[in-house]
Structure 1
Amino acid sequence: MNLVELGRRKRNYLGLHPTPTRKHLLWAGGLFLSPYLPFLTALAFFPLFRDGLGSKAELVLSGTFLAASFSALLILWIGLIRNCRWNRVQLGFCKARRSLWHILWWSPIAIVLAAKATAIVGSVLGVEAQGTSEKTAFGGLSWVAIVPAVFLYVLVGPLLEEVVFRRVLLDYLLGVLPRWVAVPIVSACFALVHIAPPLIVYNFFLGIALAMARLWFRSLWGPFLLHVSNNALVTCGVLLAL
């Protein structure tokens, strides 16, 4: 890449500043994996998980959800804030270029379109509805475990995933790729980490909307609020169906 092309790319860069480096990618990977460590530890040292849910198992599970939230926030602070010296603005939570009140119409449109697209693709691929996987995740739990699970799913999860995918990964790719290539790649990565086929399909389309919100608002506040509203809506629907 010559200096002229490099200069043109910098002028057309749509990401936030500073531009993420490989060091930020490594910390983002650790940040994404950090909540899984408490669950793996619980499975290894508490065989009661494999014997079904009881009162003791639910207490351990509740603590595991809290530990997962704490570990994610801890790695965020150690890695990107303390080690990389990013502040709130550099993390992406800067003043949005457009009013965040736009989320009031952006969220329902994005969620409905993602659901419609998922239904179309699901009917072709024979993928079941999203709600089945979500209901299985909460099914059989009491409020002792549900409250910290909801905290992790509705608040900590979106914070973690927006920093990892829409701040670090998206902005890193925007530095080397055009946005029409970077956005689908990030959305595919975001979808694949959800593992379950119905969640993969839905979250690919949701990921497109989240990335577009990041670029449109020029801030992480937009996709974070959209992500929170989506997870809150799904959680309310699942809890009402239990």
Structure 2
Amino acid sequence: MFAPPEQPTFARPVRGGDVAAGLVAFLAAGAAMVGLGLLLVHAGAGAWLVPAGGALQVLLVWLALRLRGFTAADLGFTAPRRPWRLLWQVPLAWVAMMLVAAPLAQALLGPRPPGPAEADAEAVRTAVGEPAALVSLVLLMTLVIPALEEIVFRRLLYGWLERRWGVGVAVAASAAVFGAAHVLPEAVLIIGALGVATAVLARVQRSLWAPLALHMFNNTIVVAAILALG
């Protein structure tokens, strides 16, 4: 469990500098969203805060990784080993994740059902009045953010941990950090379980497309639920 695997999940080794560059860019963009938010709200364009902030995160992380010499193939965007299996692996992994995490969240946190972060729901409600902003927000939450988080948490963090301490530690630790990054207690448990499921899929398929498919599947369900209830 604590030994690096003979066949790593991804071909290119991840160095500490790679992880640091990705995380710093990711966090710096989040901090920059504060200033960006003030400007957009002052300009009366608050509905564009989340889409603009997401675009900023993508830009900064992409620049950071390009400077580190990463290509799309280096990041794990290669064909899955058995792509047709994703048709059942993705929904099965999502159901298994929810069957474990949702009852645990209810037991630990009380009767309030676990759900998406209030900030996500509020962002969607704010954007509903502006169709273009709403489309941008939906694309961001269902495609852009999943891709960005898979690169940072599964390709960089998981890849770095796996090379040093093996698959078991990499799955558990990367999922814990991924969950903790979402702050809210109910989100930490659900997202932490998603982190485990996506890391396992990455390991099985040796491709970042597999965990990205699960992440997109999950976020699409969340966004659809928010829109339906909004």
Supply the distance in 2 between the matched residues of 1:67 and 1:137 (Cα, whole angstroms): 12
Contact 2:18/2:156 (<8 A) preserved: yes
Contact 2:29 2:60 in 1 (8 A): no
User: Which 10-residue stretch deviates more, 142-151 or 156-165?
Assistant: 142-151
Paired position in structure 2 for 1:108: 91
TM-superposition CA deviations, 1:119-174 (whole Å, max 9, x none)? 22123212532336353453354242432222221111111110011101111011
- SS state at 2:165 partner: coil
Q: CA deviation at 1:11?
A: 6.2
* Distance change in 2, residues 1:193/1:11 (3 Å): closer
* 1:19 and 2:13 aligned: yes
Go from structure 1 to structure 2 and tell me whether the alpha carbon gap of 1:108 and 1:11 turns closer, same or farther (over 3 Å shift). Answer: closer
Q: Bigger radius of gyration, 1 or 2? A: 1
Cα distance in 2 for partners of 1:36, 1:112 equals 31
> SS at 2:164's partner residue?
coil
Segments of structure 2 that go 5 or more residues without pairing to the other structure are none
- The aligned amino acid for 1:98 is R
Letter in 1 for 2:30: Y
**Would the alpha carbon gap of residues 149 and 124 (structure 1) be closer, same or farther in structure 2, given more than 3 Å must change?**
same
8 A Cα contact 1:183 1:211, kept in partner: yes
**TM-score when scaled to structure 2?**
0.87
Listed as ranges, the matches of 1:231-242 within 5 Å are: 231-242=219-230
Once structures 1 and 2 are overlaid, which stretch shifts more, 39-48 or 149-158?
A: 39-48
Determine whether 1:91 maps to 2:75: yes
Contact 1:24 1:168 (8 Å CA) reproduced:
yes
Give yes or no for contact 2:4–2:162 (8 Å, CA) kept in 1.
no
How far apart, in 2, do the equivalents of 1:70 and 1:140 lie?
Answer: 18
| Shift in Å, 1:196 | 1.1
| Deviation, structure 1 residue 95 | 2.0
Tell me how far apart the structure 1 counterparts of residues 5 and 217 of structure 2 sit (CA, whole Å): 33
Query: Alpha carbons of 1:164 and 1:150: their partners in 2 closer, same or farther (altered >3 Å)?
Result: same
Asked if the contact 2:180–2:188 (Cα under 8 Å) also holds between the matched residues in 1, the reply is yes
In structure 1, the gaps of 5 or more residues are 1-8, 49-55
Quick one: distance in 2 between partners of 1:156 and 1:16? 21
Q: C-alpha separation between the residues in 2 aligned to 1:228 and 1:143?
A: 24
Deviations 1:21-50 (A, max 9, x none): 1110111112322442443013444666xx
One-letter amino acid matched to 1:194: H
**CA–CA distance in structure 1, aligned partners of residues 46 and 125 of structure 2:** 16
